[in-house]
Structure 1
């Protein structure tokens, strides 16, 4: 390699890394997605921007490694258990969201004059949402276990499954356009057979290689071995005329079935994140800033229209699977963007000359804008729901018939038939105390009915459901669900219908205590803090503290409404 070329490449990489650190650090301070910061970096220093980077092709070559490692890690982290836990959302909502989005967008693109192959490519690109952004926002708000969080994560899991499938199908779309359905279909079948053969052979070879790698005492060998397996599978599938990223995904799935998956994930994560950052920067370098300047109004209008379409599809699916409207709205906002895997499909479309360059430019900018807008739109949706639910209950509507229990008096209403709700119901039945369960999960409702437990199917945040449970005459309401948003709405609805009823609200986090008391809860039981009290009690017993003193200290801690944690230096509500 000539010295001048090496110097130029070093200079380009230094500029890319340096500028990206500054921009992404600024985006992090503003709580904006890092992906958008990397894309902005590429747009600014790329050939259509300031033109500081000369070695664009070399950077794009490194960026391809990021895609390979991304698919490899996706395969390694592939969890059958997680899919099973969210199977109702993955199999119903996920299939419906991807299928409807591809269909509607393909029909719309066809009406605009695009070919069948181009229309299908656009549908695939638009159907995917950003897993990184969606999960990060829900995790920051501690809502991964909420109803809308499980809804969104279930759909994102199915999209992650479909991403490598789309990457395998997309290269055949130009052949569909040029040679017809029969030729393209036969080649696709051949590809599927090839993938199956590669997978079966790899299932035999990869575990043997892994066992040899992990027994080494040298730290570098497991790291290099993990990278070698990912790149080797990519090379094999690429040599067979298939996607390189698909081979890495197959290798990841095989490794996910071995005991070494967690360590391998830890080994490749730094490499994956670094090369993936280069991938997003290389995508930003494709942004034609003069084109964007001339067509910014059109790009923004189309981006907002597509985000609205994706949100409406999710809302409609939510209503179809009998989830409250507010759940569909929040999940729809989290899924409204176009995701990081869409960039990979765009790059494939550009390389295959499937989509016009101007359209790819618009898609890159629109996708970046949608990712940037997601946290802002979701925050706006929370504020809108908080205001709307104080005056109207249509946001909690659930289209379902429910059995009424007007004869109940001085009873306990249990909201949620999970582990806590089930145990409480069994206790009350043993004590001979009247109670009724309100549950929104159809499987849990059927389980309660099998056990002879009185149950109402519906959303407890809706007044009509609470009235069917006899809330006006209830002695107590126990809210035992893990969804913080639903818990808050339910507390408010119960308090409006019965100002004197005793309301016990379960929450996972101490940060939810004050909002729940403000909504009208009589007592709040945070699992996070109760765990601390139980640990402290056992330590005091180990240290020989008398039972009376130990119980007194524990009760004082509860009576102070958790001031022990609130008086820490940063404060428990700092997050």
Structure 2
């Protein structure tokens, strides 16, 4: 069953569980879970901001603290946990009429709702990323950014997948998923650092930003293809080719069709008189595309991402981008905190012999993640003086996009706990490592020629 559009079926399961549990107690469990999620996300995010790190890392680490690895406040039935493992359920037993006989049904219903809300969060996240992407900017930066993006996707994917299969004997499907997680680049983190050191308008900066946006597009397509392979559990060359063509055709088709539908949607919004018209019409469009993507065996997030790209080209882009922020603030932290909460750091304990393979996988993924992006700068053609090392280093951070891969892979059952944790460790290390490295490699080079006197900083 698909991660993202299993939501309706999850709610049906919740309804069945709620019949055996007091609905008021289920709601109480959900409310306590939301308190834990939002407290963890804000505390972790605030700490990271003060350390000049992206808040998303704080949300992830906050999830780890409140989850399975530390406090066991936020645990999930689909991971094999029971009511006895949840401190929230134990707190309910102490403060309400919840009894041990009904605790398990309340726990299952509560954890299913939180999981469903977190899945909705990743749909909103990809819609927001698409809305912030600029197709015209991608075209402007040209072939050099395309070369960097393609090399930055292919190299780590191939090295990661083959290395896991042949060096660590990981099954093919999880290896492909882990390799796919290596393809992402966090445009928000890179853009922030480039702006701080005054290199956002340099040739290197523009190439990095353009390639990072293309990486996001290619990465989402890769994710859709890999997730579809997980559903079938087998690798067939013809099916892989079909899925790649389907994903590319869907993305391009949605953008082309959106150029015709965009003005229609704008006129519809202008003629409406009720509150929330821009936001709700846009979300309807995003959910329809998500549904279509799911029906044709792709991932729903590809549909929401395509919807964001389409609406970014309309006159409502600025207004919609402002209105989607509070919605994203409400749902997206649920996704990242839940990813962290389901991360079992105990699988990386070197004192346990069977965990050492997971540590080796984590180290391998980190090396491939760094090398696979650094080489991209040296793939740039042309004779002009460019800091090619800086271009490669600028592509290293995985950030929120890498976490999307980890979360989708874990929820789909494609990743075992050791591989999932190894991917999350790779995301954390590359995201922490890239900002200081980028400052160092630029400081050793003279400023390059800028492309514009007053460039507009891309949105993070």
The answer, yes or no, to whether TM exceeds 0.5 is yes
- Between the aligned partners of 1:312 and 1:173, the Cα distance in structure 2 is 29
Residue of structure 2 aligned with 1:101, choices 145, 156, 163: 156
Q: Give the match for residue 412 of structure 2.
A: 352
Give secondary structure in 2 for the equivalent of 1:124.
helix
Greater fraction strand: 1
Distance 1:257 1:366, change over 3 A: closer
* 289-298 or 100-109: bigger deviation: 289-298
Distance 1:80 1:189, change over 3 A: closer
* TM-superposition CA deviations, 1:276-310 (whole Å, max 9, x none): 22211111112102113335964663354234413
Alignment pair present for 1:11 and 2:32 = yes
Alignment pair present for 1:80 and 2:142 = no
- Between the aligned partners of 1:165 and 1:43, the Cα distance in structure 2 is 28
Residue of structure 2 aligned with 1:302, choices 364, 384, 397: 364
Counterpart contact for 1:36–1:369, Cα < 8 Å: no
Unaligned runs of 5+ in 2: 1-17, 76-109, 351-355, 456-460
Counterpart contact for 2:40–2:59, Cα < 8 Å: no
- Between the aligned partners of 1:341 and 1:42, the Cα distance in structure 2 is 17
- Between the aligned partners of 1:201 and 1:481, the Cα distance in structure 2 is 38
How do 1:419-498 and structure 2 match up within 5 A? 481-482=449-450
How do 1:123-162 and structure 2 match up within 5 A? 123-162=179-218
Q: Give the match for residue 249 of structure 1.
A: 305
Give secondary structure in 1 for the equivalent of 2:33.
helix
Q: CA deviation at 1:13?
A: 0.7
How do 1:216-235 and structure 2 match up within 5 A? 216-235=272-291
Q: CA deviation at 1:322?
A: 4.2
> Scaled by the length of structure 1, what TM-score is found?
0.61
Counterpart contact for 2:127–2:286, Cα < 8 Å: yes
Residue of structure 2 aligned with 1:110, choices 165, 176, 180: 165
Counterpart contact for 1:206–1:229, Cα < 8 Å: no
Q: Give the match for residue 563 of structure 1.
A: none
How do 1:268-417 and structure 2 match up within 5 A? 268-294=324-350, 298=360, 301-302=363-364, 304-318=366-380, 320-322=381-383, 324=385, 327-382=387-442, 385=444
Alignment pair present for 1:52 and 2:73 = yes
Distance 1:25 1:214, change over 3 A: same
- Between the aligned partners of 2:377 and 2:257, the Cα distance in structure 1 is 43
**Number of aligned residues:** 393
- Between the aligned partners of 1:507 and 1:214, the Cα distance in structure 2 is 36
Give secondary structure in 2 for the equivalent of 1:36.
helix
Give secondary structure in 1 for the equivalent of 2:349.
helix
- Between the aligned partners of 1:95 and 1:6, the Cα distance in structure 2 is 47
Q: Answer 1 or 2: higher relative contact order, Cα 8 Å, separation at least 6.
A: 2
Q: CA deviation at 1:34?
A: 1.0
Distance 1:304 1:103, change over 3 A: closer
Q: Give the match for residue 93 of structure 2.
A: none
- Between the aligned partners of 1:358 and 1:146, the Cα distance in structure 2 is 40
Greater fraction helix: 2
Q: CA deviation at 1:198?
A: 6.8
- Between the aligned partners of 1:379 and 1:362, the Cα distance in structure 2 is 27
Distance 1:330 1:190, change over 3 A: closer
Q: Which has more radius of gyration?
A: 1
- Between the aligned partners of 1:85 and 1:194, the Cα distance in structure 2 is 23
Distance 1:297 1:245, change over 3 A: closer
Distance 1:240 1:308, change over 3 A: closer
Distance 1:190 1:5, change over 3 A: same
Alignment pair present for 1:31 and 2:52 = yes
Give secondary structure in 1 for the equivalent of 2:126.
helix
- Between the aligned partners of 1:58 and 1:119, the Cα distance in structure 2 is 30
- Between the aligned partners of 1:201 and 1:382, the Cα distance in structure 2 is 42
Give secondary structure in 2 for the equivalent of 1:127.
coil
